[in-house]
Structure 1
C-alpha cells in the first residue's frame, strides 16, 4: 500500500474477483499466543496433530478489487509526501499488459531517475527499490492470482474455551472489525511510523498530489497525441489530407 501510495507500484497481477485474506496483525499474534494455551488444556492429546488455520470469516472476506479500490481511495485522501508519481496504478490478469506497464511505468522511470541522480552527483536508489518491489510482488502475486479455501473450524472453536476477560485481552474475533477503518489506520500508520511523515504534513502532501495529478494527465495526453501522430504519419493520413486539400484549392 505504501509502494502504491508513493506512485512506485503501477501494476500488479491480481484477479480482482478472488477473495483476499487480510487479517490485522494483533489478531494474528493473539492467535499464536492462544494456540499453546489451547493445546495445554486438552484433556487428552489427539492422535493426529491438530491444524489451526487463522483465516477471515467467510462473511467478512473482501475481494481483492475492493481492497485495491479502498486502498487507492485512502491513498488519495491521506497522500504520502513527495511521491514518485500520481498513485494511479491498476490490477490485471493479463500478463502482457502487466509487463508492458511494469517496463514503461516502473523500470523505465527508475532508470531515468537514477540517471538524473548520477548526473547531479546524488546517491542512486530507484533501481534498487524497484528490484526489492519486484521480489515482493512476485511472492504476493502467487496468492492474488489463485483461489484459496482454508478451513478454520479449530481456530474458531478456541473462543469456546476462553473466559470473558481473555476474549477481550486476546481478541481473535473479526466480525466486528471495520475493514475500511482498518485500511485507513494502516495507511496512516505506515505514513507516520514507516515513512516518518507526520500528520501535520497532510495539507502540503495534498497540494503536491494535485500537482502530480495535473502532471500525470498532461504527460498521458501528450504521449497519446504523439502515438496518434506517429500512426497517422505511418498510415499516410497526413499526406492524403494534404493532397485532398491541394486538390480542393485548385
Structure 2
C-alpha cells in the first residue's frame, strides 16, 4: 500500500475542462443550436437528474429559444414557482448565468401539474395555452425506483405517458415529441436494435386494472402481472413505449430515445456532477464508507454507461437529425456506449478502491474499503452475514449505548434491498445497437463535434471516476474538500485496524484448528502405540 500519490495537504481541485471552441472553428455555423431558436418547449421531468442537464444545455447553447415550460408539482410544501427558483439555485447553472446573464433563466416558467394526477393535474386554461404555444415536447418524467409499488409505477410511467400523448395530440403546431425511454425495457432482447418492439401486454388494460384495484391487491397479483419482468420500472416503461408506438403509427412526429445507465457528467458544465447516488456512484460511496464488503456479481460482466452530458448531446442531436436533416423515418435512438467501450464491474471496483483508499477518501469511513465480488451466491450470503450484518449490529449497539440513534442496520437493510435489483442486471448481459446515433456523427461539422461531443475520445477512466468521487463528496455527502487531509489520516487508521483484525482473525482460526486437531492427533498417536 502506498500513500505517496498525494501529500496529506494536497487537496484535489476540480478541473473545469469544458470543451473550448478553437478560434478556427468559430466561423463554422452551429446548426444544432440554430435548430432550436425561437422554439417553445414543454418538458416533464425537468427537476430530475437528466432533466436539469437538458435544460442547462438548451439555455447555454440556444439562448434564443422562445420559452421552456416545465411541468412542476407541489412538493414538500413548495409550489411550482418556488421549485423553479430552487432548481436554478444549483451550481449546475452557474456557467449559463455567467455566459448569458441571470435573466436567461426568465425563459423558463412552471406549469402547475403532476404526472401522477388525472389529466396531468393541468388546468383547462393551461392545457389550452400549451396546445396553442408549444412546438416541442420532451417527456422525461418517470419514477426510476426499481422497487416502486407496481400501481404507482403504472400510474406514473404508463398512464402518465398516455396522458402526455393525449395532450400532445392536441398541440396545434407540434414539430416533435421526444419520449425518454430506457435501454432496459425490452429485457428479452439480448441485443437491442433501434426499432419498435411490441409489448407482451395491453398497456390500456393494465392501466384500467390498476386504477380499479387498490395498491395492496395490485401487489398481491403483481408477480402474475409482471410476467417475467424483474421489476416495476422495466415493466411500466415497456408498456409506455407501446403507447408511444401507437401514436407513431398514427403519424405523430415522435422519436423514442433509450438511454442506458446515466451516470455523472464527464465534461460539462461541471465535471463529475450528479444529484443522486444511483448506479456506480452509489457503489463507490458504499464501498468508500466501508459498509459494502461483498457483492454477488460476475466481475467480468459489464453494464452500459452514458455520462449524462453525452446523453443530452445525443438527445439533442437526434432531435436535430429529425427536424433539420429530415430523417423522419428514424424513430428510435439507443443512447448507449458499449459498441465503443466497455468497463467491467471489476474495473469500476479496482479504480474506485484505489482512488478512495489513496487519493480522495470519504469522511468517517466505518472500515477500510475492501471486500470483493463473489461468483457464488452462498459465499456472498455468508460474507453478508459476517461482514455486513454482524458488524452493523455490533456498531449500532455501541452507538445506542453512547446515547445516539442506531443507523447501520437500517443502512444494511437498504443495501440488501439494493442488491436484489443490482444482482439481476449485474449477472445478465445485454448489448445495444446504436447505428442511428453513430450515423449522426458523419453529418456533424467540426464545430458541432466539439459543441455536442458524442464519443468517448479522450476519456481517462481514472480521472473521470476521481471527478465523480470528488463531486459526490462535495455535492451529495456535503464533505468539503478541506476535510480530505483529515480523511486520509482516518483512512490510515482504518487500514491499520483492518490489518490487525485480519491477523487476529487468522490467529483465532489457527488456534481453533489446533484445538480441534490436538485430540485427534493424540488419539491416532495412542492407537499407533
Which residue number in structure 2 is paired with residue 154 of structure 1?
436
Which residue number in structure 2 is paired with residue 115 of structure 1?
397
Which of 163-172 and 22-31 deviates more?
A: 163-172
1:157-168 residue pairs with structure 2 within 5 A? 157-168=439-450
Structure 2: stretches of 5+ with no match in the other structure: 1-283
Q: Are 1:2 and 2:277 an aligned pair?
A: no
Cα displacement (A) at 1:218: 0.9
Which residue number in structure 2 is paired with residue 210 of structure 1?
492
Matched residue pairs, number? 241
Cα displacement (A) at 1:211: 0.7
Q: Are 1:17 and 2:304 an aligned pair?
A: no
Cα displacement (A) at 1:182: 0.7
Q: Are 1:65 and 2:346 an aligned pair?
A: yes
- Aligned partner of residue 373 in structure 2, secondary structure: strand
Deviation string for 1:47-77 (max 9, x for gaps)? xx73322222544222222221111111112
Cα distance change, pair 111–172 in 1 and its aligned pair in 2 (3 A):
same
Task: Determine the C-alpha separation between the residues in 1 that align with 2:302 and 2:514.
Answer: 44
Q: Which has the higher contact order (CA 8 A, sep 6+)?
A: 1
Paired residues of 2:333 and 2:434 also in contact (CA < 8 A): yes
Cα distance change, pair 205–238 in 1 and its aligned pair in 2 (3 A):
farther
- Aligned partner of residue 60 in structure 1, secondary structure: coil
Task: Determine the C-alpha separation between the residues in 2 that align with 1:44 and 1:189.
Answer: 38
Task: Determine the C-alpha separation between the residues in 2 that align with 1:172 and 1:55.
Answer: 10
Which residue number in structure 2 is paired with residue 27 of structure 1?
310
Compare the two structures and name the one with the higher strand fraction: 2
Cα displacement (A) at 1:21: 2.1
Paired residues of 1:93 and 1:145 also in contact (CA < 8 A): no
Task: Determine the C-alpha separation between the residues in 2 that align with 1:130 and 1:5.
Answer: 14
Cα displacement (A) at 1:238: 9.0
Deviation string for 1:75-96 (max 9, x for gaps)? 1121111101000121121111
Paired residues of 1:7 and 1:83 also in contact (CA < 8 A): yes
Paired residues of 1:60 and 1:175 also in contact (CA < 8 A): no
Which of 112-121 and 148-157 deviates more?
A: 112-121
Which of 151-160 and 86-95 deviates more?
A: 151-160
- Aligned partner of residue 306 in structure 2, secondary structure: coil
Task: Determine the C-alpha separation between the residues in 2 that align with 1:22 and 1:227.
Answer: 42
Correspondent of 2:409 among 118, 123, 127: 127
Cα displacement (A) at 1:198: 1.7
Structure 1: stretches of 5+ with no match in the other structure: 245-250
Deviation string for 1:78-120 (max 9, x for gaps)? 1111101000121121111111111111121112222222222
Paired residues of 2:363 and 2:483 also in contact (CA < 8 A): yes
Correspondent of 1:172 among 435, 440, 454: 454
Cα distance change, pair 131–32 in 1 and its aligned pair in 2 (3 A):
farther
Q: Are 1:54 and 2:332 an aligned pair?
A: no
TM-score using structure 1 length: 0.86
Task: Determine the C-alpha separation between the residues in 2 that align with 1:186 and 1:44.
Answer: 36
Task: Determine the C-alpha separation between the residues in 1 that align with 2:367 and 2:333.
Answer: 42
Paired residues of 2:338 and 2:431 also in contact (CA < 8 A): no
Paired residues of 2:294 and 2:371 also in contact (CA < 8 A): yes
